Amino acid sequence: MEKAYKYLIAGLAIGLVLAVVGTFALSPSLMGSQDNCDECHEGHGSVVAPDVNVNGTILLTGDTPQDEMIPIADIFKLKQKDVVTLKLQNDEGIPSRGVPVFDFLKAYGVNDFEQIILYADDFEVTVNKSEMTEDTVFVPHEYSIRILSSNMPVSVWLKNIKTIVVVGKGGDSISVNGKEITFGEMLNDGIDTMVTSRRTNGYIYEDQNYQFEAGYVVTGIGLKDLLFKEGYKDFSKVTIKGSSEKILLRYEVLDGSYFLTRDQGKIKLATADKNRPLWQSVESITVE
């Protein structure tokens, strides 16, 4: 019995050794070198892979034909371009492949603009049109995208982009005391959100009643914040004209939930307690 046990142990040991040797022998031919992946990620945090599967969406807003939640996979269906970056660190540079930003914007109806503002979770980058080149591209990065270019320092290669705001003169606009302000200009110093149409949703499970609150989230800027941004801090009342006329006293503006957003190609005055069909279209604001 003891002799059979020794043979069993010896057989298992030999099998383990053969498995390890076989793995090391086959790995290089099956997997290939991993150096390229490491160099690529260290260089620009992306991958040179035209068929990469990336989930998620990007909000395109501002001075655009409409607000769009764009699937990231759709971005990389556009024609991609090979670019070389970081030539100052390496004579040959580091190759990348991505969708030119100019081509991306044209694909979504943006032909004339002054700048784009890119927002991530904890960072923002503004890129003027004059600073863009044909090598300014979007590349895939984890579950989002990253911007990079041969003429951009790595410190502004923003990754995990969530929102792209276009600023120009071709978008929806209103006038504030006669000054035209586009929706993109409203959002060029940050994007706010507001929950509207909040309601309670009930559910009965195992004879127990559960209550959950839910609502829709809209993007834009608070009326108070827009007035402060334009330098109107000392005022007595505000008159808003559009689909109707509304006069708000100072305390109503400061204490209320009045919020400027865009809906179906028009800038509207939303409030937290009203549903979307009841929002007033805005054409002009007079501050007194």
Alpha carbon 194 to its chain's center: 17
Burial class (CB in 10 A: 0-12, 13-18, 19+), 221: buried
154 and 238 in a single domain? The answer is: no
Final residue in a domain of this structure, among 167, 189, 210 = 167
Q: Are 140 and 46 in contact (CB under 8 A)?
A: yes
Query: Measured between alpha carbons, how far is 101 from 281 in angstroms, rounded to an integer?
Result: 32
Final residue in a domain of this structure, among 167, 198, 219 = 167
136 and 234 in a single domain? The answer is: no
Per-residue model confidence as pLDDT tens digits over 130-142: 999 999 999 998 8
In-domain check, residue 18: no
208 and 276 in a single domain? The answer is: yes
Instruction: Indicate the residue type of 96.
Output: S
Query: Measured between alpha carbons, how far is 257 from 85 in angstroms, rounded to an integer?
Result: 46
* pLDDT(43) > 70: no
Which of 127, 43, 123 lies closest to 86 in space, CA to CA? 43
Identify the pLDDT of residue 143.
82
Query: Measured between alpha carbons, how far is 137 from 76 in angstroms, rounded to an integer?
Result: 11
113 and 208 in a single domain? The answer is: no
pTM (predicted TM-score) = 0.76
Which of 193, 186, 219 lies closest to 117 in space, CA to CA? 186
In-domain check, residue 105: yes
Identify the pLDDT of residue 17.
46
Could you tell me the CATH number of the domain that includes residue 135? 3.90.420.10
User: 57 forms bridges with which residues in the sheet?
Assistant: 71
The mean pLDDT of 105-114, rounded to a whole number, is 94
Identify the pLDDT of residue 44.
41
146 and 268 in a single domain? The answer is: no
Final residue in a domain of this structure, among 167, 196, 221 = 167
Instruction: Indicate the residue type of 199.
Output: R
Domain residue limits at 45: 37-167
Q: Are 286 and 246 in contact (CB under 8 A)?
A: no
Mean pLDDT for all residues in the chain:
84
Q: How many domains does the chain have?
A: 2
In-domain check, residue 58: yes
Which of 218, 282, 271 lies closest to 244 in space, CA to CA? 282
Per-residue model confidence as pLDDT tens digits over 7-40: 544 554 555 444 444 444 444 443 444 344 444 4
In Å, how far are 97, 161, 203, 212 from 144, measured between CA atoms? 15, 6, 35, 30
